[in-house]
Every structure is written in C-alpha cells, then in structure tokens.
Chains A and B, each alone.
Chain A
C-alpha cells in the first residue's frame, strides 16, 4: 500500500490545494510501480494550515503555478523513495519516454515497461534484453498508433554515473542494434540506478515512470505476509 502526505504552512484555498495535489500526483505517485498491484488503501493527502503570513493562494494567484511546480518536484522525490524501497529491489530504474505525440501515450508506454515482470527480471539479472522492452511497448494499451511509429522508435540504456559513452543504443529508428557492446551493457546494468530511454520521435510530450527490478527476495517477502 502507498500512503503519504504533504504538509505546508502556506495558506492555500481547498480548491487550489486539490488542483495542486492532483497535478503533482499525476506526475509523481501515479508514475511509480514496484509490482503492478494497486492497493485498497492508497491515499495521498495534503494539508495547508496558513501559518505563514501571506495572502491566500488560489488558482488565479500569481504564485499558484510556481508553488504547484515546487509541490510536484517535491512529490516526485517522495514517490521515488517508495520505489527505492521496493520489496527486494536492488535497482532503481527511471523509464523515460520522450517525444511522444500525446502525454497519455507516453505514460501508458512507460507504465507498460515498468510493470513488465520480464523486463524487471532482466534488469535484476543485468541482461540487456531489449526484446522484452520492445514487447512491453508493443502491448501497451494505446487507443491508436498516433504516438507509436515502429520506424521512428529509439530505445537506449543511459548510464547514470557520468561514465562514457553515456547512451547505449539498443534500437535505432526501429532497427535493433544486433552488435551491442555487451561489456558496456554489463557496466551500465551493474549500476544501482538505471535509465531506460524510449524516444518515440512522434511529438514533444514526455513522461517519466520509476520502477525497480524484480528479485527472488520479492517472493520471499510476500509468500507469508498475512500469516
């Protein structure tokens, strides 16, 4: 179960606060996955008590967008901690889908990759299994193919430790790179923080999802949770 709350001492009216929280959660807590299961209890709430002496913020206030952005970035940091603590997780994985025609499509594709047990198993095993990533993109529940053009798609692993080359291309313009540098792939996949980059090349929208690998430990933890 995911639970969380954000508290502030700003004065924000309840309508603006709900809008702010909903926007933040759309790009943070609703973009994480450990195991693809949704709880009966997931809740994120936010309180604003107005202890700071400043005018009340509503949707028309000049600072509404600024505070909304700050709350969103803050919520992303808080949400990412949940993924880092994923049951049995050894890796924190950012799935970055960019240049999509539609945000919702970028989100669906990112979610599909993030929830794939086979992708997550491969990441745990440090196997550069681009076929599983492409497979997960292919069955994502898109309404149409506006955002997904097989001839334009690029898929890469991105090194997060500053080492070079930073990007290891797995698929370029729809063509699998069969001569992948396996030793470089192993170096990148050995990192505890990974990034999978999917460039759809069909627009300008992007979505980041955060997930983790799937290890033996996950089953151990969940085999006897109730008893």
Chain B
C-alpha cells in the first residue's frame, strides 16, 4: 500500500502534449451521472469528408454482453464497417444487464448523435461503470445536446486528455498516447489511442 502511494502514476504516464490524426474532433463534459461531478460523457467525431471512414472493433466474449456492445456490433454488421463517424463514451453506468430497456436507451443515444452527424448507423457506443443500472437518459441526452449545440468540439491536446478522463472509473490516471509513423514511401500518418480500465481486467475479445 505504501509502495503504491509513493508512485505518482499520473506524473509518470500522462503526457503533456501529443500529435493527433487529422480530421477528428472530440468533446466531453460532466453530465451528472458520476456522483462526484467528474467528466463522464465524451464524443469523438470524424469531420473528414474526403473519403468514407472505416471502422473495426473487437468485443467481450462474455455471454452477458452489455447493450452498447450488442448495439455497436449491430452497427458494424449493418454498415459493414463503413461510414462510422462517431463514438459516444460514457462512464458511471455500464448499461449492462438492462434488457430491452437498455437496448432502447443505447439506440436512443446513438440516434441522437446520428442526427447531429447526419447519417444513419454512424455511431458506436461504449459504456462503463456499474452493472445492472439503466442509463440516466435525461442527463446523457442533455449532455449530448450541449456538446453539439454549443459546439464543444476541438482537436487540441486538452480536449483529447479530457476525453480520456471522461471514460475513467476507478482509474487513477487517464490513458492517452499518440505517435506519428511513416509508410514505405515516407508518407506520415498518426495514431492516437485512448483506453480505460483498472479492475475487472482480463479481456478475451473477438
């Protein structure tokens, strides 16, 4: 316990700057789902229109798949992974083991974002938090409206870091990395990655 406290993981592992891929914007806010008023809702959107985007995913192989897992799989099946332009993440509530009502809530969240993005089947969902509780749809829905209507989207470092914070649960630091790479002909491209998790971790995704 004392060893744990002597490690300042935030200082060690959270970057102070980053390089980010072109054509993405992110936004986040505290919707009120988390009890402590911390960031708990985020949206990533693709704003590049020069080509159709591609999407891929792997999901838990747990038999009890949460509503956002089932929903996102459906979106990828229907769209064949083409034209997915948004990801909504929320923390505080996993929307898991919530049955038909949970699926309806997931669909409503995605529909709301699809309207702003302007395309059907263009939004993936991720939720994390307590199992067996329904999403507080009034807070989530109000939060999404606020992000889009007040155009909270940006591509600066602070916005990406806040997005990483918005999916944290028991995490002690947000997990954000980014890097530039080169193709064989020297063309540069960029990867950015965000993850969350601290417990209930032994994934076997497919």
Contacts and interface: CB of A to CB of B under 8 A. Distances in A.
B170 A115 contact: no
Say what secondary structure dominates the interface of chain A.
mixed
Give the top 4 A-B pairs by smallest Cβ distance, nearest first. A14-B81, A4-B195, A51-B23, A50-B51
Nearest to B4: A90
Nearest to A4: B195
A53 to B, nearest CB: 8
A20 B181 CA distance: 16
User: What is the interface residue range for chain B against chain A?
Assistant: 35 or more
Contacts of A176: none
Contacts of A32: 201-203
Nearest to B52: A50
A44 interface: yes
Interface string A150-173: 000000000000000000000000
A52 B4 contact: no
A124 to B, nearest CB: 9
Interface stretch (A73-81, A179-187, A196-204): A73-81
Contact of A29 (B54, B129, B203): B203
Interface residues of A, number: 80
B55 A45 contact: yes
Q: Which of B24, B61, B195 has the most chain A CB atoms inside 10 A of its CB?
A: B195
A84 B9 contact: yes
A6 B54 CA distance: 12
A52 B187 contact: yes
Contacts of A52: 22, 187-189
Q: Which of B4, B7, B89, B124 has the most chain A CB atoms inside 10 A of its CB?
A: B4
Contacts of A142: none
